[in-house]
């Protein structure tokens, strides 16, 4: 008799087919039990992430960061073994379940309860496997996150460093931050490696320029006079900047001047003391120089210069030009200029900056040297004044006092003639003392009459006026006065009053005859004080002469009185008195 299969046996027939299909490696999501259907779809996101991890360069796909990749890989590595174990256990349980079904077909009893227990164990196994996978993945994600923390920081720091070195804006940082941190770190290290030689070269060049600037500045500041500052500057700058000529141009008025110092290659034309007239410097150029303007001309023929300027530069074989202002006490006094004459020269920005700094230091050094010169000059003037005053105070004769004064005064201010001009009652004068260099006409005992002097100058000189005339032909002197001093070949003079008994006795006068002269303030001050001391010495000499004369008179009176007292009669007394009185 043939039995009808029961509903349970129908289900049991399906089960072997299901197990075979799973063994053959084909998907069984449409026919397997609900427990396996819940498990299998969990593999797909992991597979997709794995595909994305292994194919980061797929067009249109977002590039993942190192943390995302590492976390995904950790999850895959930690979850897949658990899932594999779970799937293996499940397949083993299914095999056991199949055997149980076969045993049921042969009529074994009590298998229903066994199958129910196996299904519970299978469900518990699947749930345990899932929980284990989640926990393992979480732990792996935390560990990898901590491991990636330093790499991320290193990538961010290297990106910031590269962008700062390249002086770029924030865009490159945004671009690099979206990449894998390891890729960004590798890229940044490559950029740093590529930039490092250039950075080292720039650093060495900057160090060399700083050292050069320090050496030049130190040499300039060691100079004790303004002339030495100029000379040291041109020599040191020509050596340091490797140029063929360095000159210092000094302004003599608002726009013209001359070259007062130069260091130049032996084969090139000299510029020292060459005069530069107004067309070279426009008023706006002077204003720009006062504001610190630095001019760098790489090639004079491509610099859009005016013809007169190009002609001047060609005169001295100049091809390239660099100039910076020299400022002293907030006043533009000159220019520091470098020339390249053999060929044009591209002036580097670092050279221009260093050149401007040297020019600034020259201005400061000039002020420092000027202060030193003033201190030295004051000390020198004080010592000279003490020496001369001591010498003339030892003299008791007016003639010797005046003679010594003119000799010492001429030596002190290094001039060509010094005279004492004494007034008479009508304010006409005579030269009563003179010291003059050989070869010049003598003025001693010359009488000079200036009708205008009494009216215009007596009161001024009585009040202490000192007149320094650098050029007598440009000082507005009267024609009469010029004709009177013309025989003595005077070009410049310095005049100070000599007061005797608080009255204008005469004038102490210095003459420069070979050329005009710019009298320095210390010379004017010394000359004034010498004239004052001459007046004191003359007063002292006259006082001593009066004292001596009074002493002689008193002694004579005593002698006469003594002789009269020794006379014995009236006739002898009268005779002695008459003789002594006579």
Kindly report, residue by residue over 375-422, the tens digit of the pLDDT. 888 888 888 888 888 888 888 788 889 999 999 999 999 999 999 999
Domains of the chain: which residue ranges? 7-53+62-165, 222-369, 395-545
Confidence of residue 476 (pLDDT cuts 50, 70, 90): confident
Q: SS3 for 257?
A: strand
Greater confidence, 478 or 520?
Answer: 520
Whether residue 46 has pLDDT greater than 50: no
Whether residue 436 has pLDDT greater than 50: yes
Confidence of residue 92 (pLDDT cuts 50, 70, 90): low
Greater confidence, 546 or 264?
Answer: 264
Does the domain formed by 395-545 have CATH 3.30.450.40? yes
Count of C-beta atoms within a 10 Å radius of residue 327? 21
Q: What is the pLDDT of residue 121?
A: 67
Cα–Cα distances in angstroms (integers) from residue 71 to residues 76, 77, 140, 143, 173, in the given order: 9, 10, 7, 9, 24
Whether residue 33 has pLDDT greater than 70: no
pTM, two decimals, is 0.54
| Fold classification of 222-369 (topology level) | Beta-Lactamase (3.30.450)
Any idea which residue has 């076969």 for tokens? 102
Per residue in 147-166, pLDDT (tens digit) is 677 777 777 777 777 777 66
Name 317's Cβ contacts closer than 8 Å, sequence gap at least 6: 268, 269, 341
* Percent of the chain with pLDDT strictly greater than 70: 66
Domains 222-369 and 395-545 share a fold: yes
Mean pLDDT (the chain, rounded): 75
Q: What is the pLDDT of residue 30?
A: 36
Confidence of residue 452 (pLDDT cuts 50, 70, 90): confident
Q: Sign of dihedral through CA atoms 486, 489, 490, 496? A: negative
Q: Are 176 and 187 in contact (CB under 8 A)?
A: yes
């Amino acid at each position: 008799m043939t039995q009808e299969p029961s509903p349970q046996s129908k289900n049991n027939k399906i089960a072997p087919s299901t197990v075979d299909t799973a063994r053959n490696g084909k998907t069984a999501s449409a026919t397997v039990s609900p427990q396996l259907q819940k498990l299998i779809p969990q593999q797909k996101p992991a597979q997709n992430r794995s595909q994305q991890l292994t194919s980061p360069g797929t067009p249109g796909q977002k590039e993942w960061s190192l943390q995302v990749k590492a976390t995904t890989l950790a999850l895959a590595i930690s979850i897949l073994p658990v899932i594999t174990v779970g799937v293996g256990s499940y397949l083993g349980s299914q095999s056991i379940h199949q055997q149980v079904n076969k045993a049921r077909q042969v009529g074994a009893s009590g298998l229903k309860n066994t199958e129910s227990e196996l299904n519970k164990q299978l469900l518990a196994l699947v749930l345990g496997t899932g929980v284990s996978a989640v926990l393992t993945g979480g732990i792996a994600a935390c560990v990898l996150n901590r491991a990636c923390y330093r790499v991320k920081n290193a990538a961010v720091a290297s990106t910031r460093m590269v962008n700062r070195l390249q002086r770029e804006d924030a865009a490159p940082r945004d671009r690099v931050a979206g990449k894998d941190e390891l890729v960004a770190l590798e890229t940044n290290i490559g950029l740093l490696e590529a930039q490092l030689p250039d950075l080292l070269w720039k650093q060495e060049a900057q160090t060399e320029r700083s050292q050069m600037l320090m050496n030049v500045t130190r040499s300039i500041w060691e100079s004790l006079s303004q002339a030495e500052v100029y000379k040291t500057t041109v020599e040191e700058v020509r050596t340091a900047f490797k140029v063929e000529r360095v000159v210092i141009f000094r302004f003599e008025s608002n726009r013209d001047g001359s070259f007062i110092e130069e260091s130049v290659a032996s084969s090139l034309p000299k510029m020292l003391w060459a005069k530069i007239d107004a067309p070279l410097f426009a008023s706006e150029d002077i204003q720009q120089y006062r504001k610190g303007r630095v001019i760098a001309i790489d090639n004079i023929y491509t610099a859009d210069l005016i013809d007169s300027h190009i002609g001047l530069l060609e005169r001295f074989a100049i091809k390239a030009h660099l100039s910076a202002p020299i400022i002293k006490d907030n006043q533009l006094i000159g220019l520091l200029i470098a020339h390249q004459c053999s060929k044009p020269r591209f002036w580097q920005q670092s050279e221009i900056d260093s050149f401007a700094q040297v020019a600034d230091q020259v201005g400061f050094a000039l002020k420092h040297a000027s202060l030193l010169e003033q201190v030295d000059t004051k000390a020198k003037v004080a010592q000279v004044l003490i020496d001369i005053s001591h010498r003339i105070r030892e003299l008791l004769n007016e003639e010797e006092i005046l003679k010594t004064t003119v000799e010492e005064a001429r030596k002190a201010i290094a001039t060509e003639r010094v005279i004492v001009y004494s007034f008479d009652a009508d304010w006409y004068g005579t030269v009563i003392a003179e010291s003059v260099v050989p070869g010049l006409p003598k003025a001693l005992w010359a009488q000079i009459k200036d009708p205008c002097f009494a009216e215009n100058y007596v009161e001024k000189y009585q009040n202490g006026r000192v007149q320094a005339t650098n050029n007598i032909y440009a000082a507005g002197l009267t024609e009469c006065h010029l004709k009177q001093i013309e025989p003595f070949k005077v070009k410049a003079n310095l005049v100070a009053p000599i007061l005797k008994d608080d009255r204008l006795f005469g004038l102490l006068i210095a003459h420069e005859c070979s050329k005009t002269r710019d009298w320095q303030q210390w010379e004017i001050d010394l000359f004034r004080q010498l004239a004052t001391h001459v007046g004191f010495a003359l007063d002292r000499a006259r006082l001593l002469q009066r004292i001596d004369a009074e002493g002689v008179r008193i002694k004579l009176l005593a002698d006469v009185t003594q002789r009269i007292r020794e006379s014995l009669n009236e006739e002898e007394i009268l005779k002695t008195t008459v003789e002594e009185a006579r």
